[in-house]
Amino acid sequence: MAKRFGILTSGGDCPGLNAVIRGAVLKGETVYGHEFVGFKDGWYGLVYGDIMELNRSTVRGLSHEGGTILGTSRFGPYQEPDGGAENIKKVMKNLGIDGVIAIGGEGTASASRRLYEDGINIVGVPKTIDNDLDATDYTFGFNTAVEIATEAIDRLRTTGNSHKRCMVLEVMGRHAGWIALYSGIAGGAHAILIPEQPESLDQICAWVTHVKNRGRAPMVVVAEGFKFPDMGEAYSVKGLDGFNRPRLGGIAEVLAPLIEERTGIETRATVLGHIQRGGVPTAFDRVLATRLGMAITDLCADKGWGKMVALNGTDIVRVDFSDALANQKSVPADQYQEIRVIFG
């Protein structure tokens, strides 16, 4: 019997979300005869039954479009006064929805696990540009973010060289420094600073000075979540997000004047911000997202509630929400050391 599934995108947006939606709807309709709706603005659409129809024609040409046609938010499914599993079950029943497909990061997966434990038919697709979700080798959106950050480094290097300045580029990465590490390696940065590995100002300035003494313009890449050894929390001056977590961003603006003061080298900071999350996904991300979207309809057809699809090597596999949430995927110390030896 044909089934009807509701798709939502939750948390920070990320290039490739639309490709997942398209992959799911195309395969679900073609192979299983399933029907789909989209919940608008993340969990909000599920809690309030705010939906849009999804079918072959509404997902046409979507795989190269950034953002999410469904909208996203940091609204929580248990948010008072109307959230909670019992209300959601009623909404699903009224709309004739047999299962929910939640596309999101670790926050969305935590909420999904809780809903699953409370009796909701729900499956997940991992997304985050930060690439910090365990149980999947890569998340779509990450490759796109790395490409954008690498292009930014290339551009900063030419202007830095012209003025013989030290250039500091800040990229996203709340808990994990994957974007900084990959773009920094690709762009030949002279120092890469990540949340997992505190570095002292003395050490950073020693690298910068060494580069300058060789007649080069120093290029430093820093993740927003980077901390000096004496910092308890990452730098945050922008208040809280919709889920009451500190909004990060701006550590490059702190670091640049410190470098300039300490080394005497003129230094400029650039905060790349949401440019990393916008626009057209790379081919790699479109392929990964489309495959995950198609695989999630197989999971729905098999009633694999409580699970997510994930990339393992070149295969799309199924993992429990709990396994995906057991660990955060941080940059391992040895991978950082591997590149750190050539800093400066």
Ligand X SMILES: O=P(O)(O)OC[C@H]1O[C@](O)(COP(=O)(O)O)[C@@H](O)[C@@H]1O
Chain residues that interact with ligand ADP, rule: CB under 6 A: 10-12, 74-78, 104-108, 110-111, 114, 128, 242-243
To ligand X, the closest distance from the beta carbon of 337 in angstroms equals 24
Nearer Cβ to ligand ADP, position 143 or 209? 143
Given the rule CB under 6 A, which of 49-57, 126-134, 201-209, 260-268 is the region that contacts ligand X?
126-134
Nearest in space to 72 (alpha carbons), one of 102, 93, 95: 102
Q: Which residue is nearest to ligand X (CB)?
A: 12
Amino acid at 148: I
Give the one entry of Mg ion, ligand ADP, ligand X, none that residue 212 binds, where binding means its C-beta sits below a cut-off of 5 to 8 angstroms depending on kind: none
Give the one entry of ligand X, ligand ADP, Mg ion, none that residue 108 binds, where binding means its C-beta sits below a cut-off of 5 to 8 angstroms depending on kind: ligand ADP
- Phi-psi label, residue 63: left if phi above 0, alpha if psi -120 to 50, beta otherwise: alpha
CB 166 within 8 A of CB 212: yes
Nearest in space to 148 (alpha carbons), one of 204, 221, 61, 73: 221
Give the one entry of ligand X, Mg ion, ligand ADP, none that residue 78 binds, where binding means its C-beta sits below a cut-off of 5 to 8 angstroms depending on kind: ligand ADP
Task: Please give the DSSP secondary-structure letter assigned to residue 230.
Answer: T
Nearer Cβ to ligand ADP, position 171 or 256? 171
Measured CA to CA, the distance from residue 28 to residue 25 in angstroms comes to: 5
DSSP states of 272-309 as a string? -GGGGGSSPPPHHHHHHHHHHHHHHHHHHHTT-TTEEE
Residue 105 marked in a binding site: yes
Give the one entry of ligand ADP, Mg ion, ligand X, none that residue 75 binds, where binding means its C-beta sits below a cut-off of 5 to 8 angstroms depending on kind: ligand ADP
Sequence-ordered list of residues with C-beta below 8 angstroms from that of 54, at least 6 positions apart, any chain: 7, 21, 25, 36, 37, 38
Give the one entry of Mg ion, ligand ADP, ligand X, none that residue 210 binds, where binding means its C-beta sits below a cut-off of 5 to 8 angstroms depending on kind: none
User: Is position 11 an interface residue for ligand X (rule: CB under 6 A)?
Assistant: yes
CB 190 within 8 A of CB 219: yes
To ligand X, the closest distance from the beta carbon of 174 in angstroms equals 4
CB 108 within 8 A of CB 124: yes
Give the x-and-dash track for 67-106 against Mg ion (CB under 5 A). Answer: --------------------------------------xx
Residue 245 marked in a binding site: no
Sequence-ordered list of residues with C-beta below 8 angstroms from that of 202, at least 6 positions apart, any chain: none
Catalytic-labelled residue, pool 13, 130, 132, 285: 130
Task: Please give the DSSP secondary-structure letter assigned to residue 221.
Answer: E
Residue 194 marked in a binding site: no
Contact residue for ligand X among 18, 63, 128, 183 (CB under 6 A): 128
Nearer Cβ to ligand X, position 173 or 218? 173
Task: Please give the DSSP secondary-structure letter assigned to residue 335.
Answer: H
Measured CA to CA, the distance from residue 76 to residue 112 in angstroms comes to: 10
Please report, as residue ranges, which positions from 64 to 103 form the binding site for ligand X (by CB under 6 A).
Answer: none
Given the rule CB under 6 A, which of 19-27, 34-42, 123-131, 191-199 is the region that contacts ligand X?
123-131
130 is annotated as an active-site residue: yes
CB 131 within 8 A of CB 245: no
Question: From the CB of residue 188, how many other CB atoms can be counted at a distance below 10 Å?
Answer: 12
Contact residue for ligand X among 216, 247, 318, 340 (CB under 6 A): 247
CB 20 within 8 A of CB 289: yes
Residue 173 marked in a binding site: yes
Residue 108 marked in a binding site: yes
Q: In the numeric block, which tokens belong to residue 289?
A: 């997202």
Give the one entry of Mg ion, ligand X, ligand ADP, none that residue 189 binds, where binding means its C-beta sits below a cut-off of 5 to 8 angstroms depending on kind: none
Q: In the numeric block, which tokens belong to residue 27?
A: 């395969």
* Binding site residues, Mg ion, CB under 5 A: 105-107
Residues placed in the known binding site: 12, 74-75, 105-108, 128-130, 165, 172-174, 224, 268, 274-277
Residues placed in the known binding site for substrate: 128-130, 165, 172-174, 224, 268, 274-277
Residues assigned a catalytic role: 130
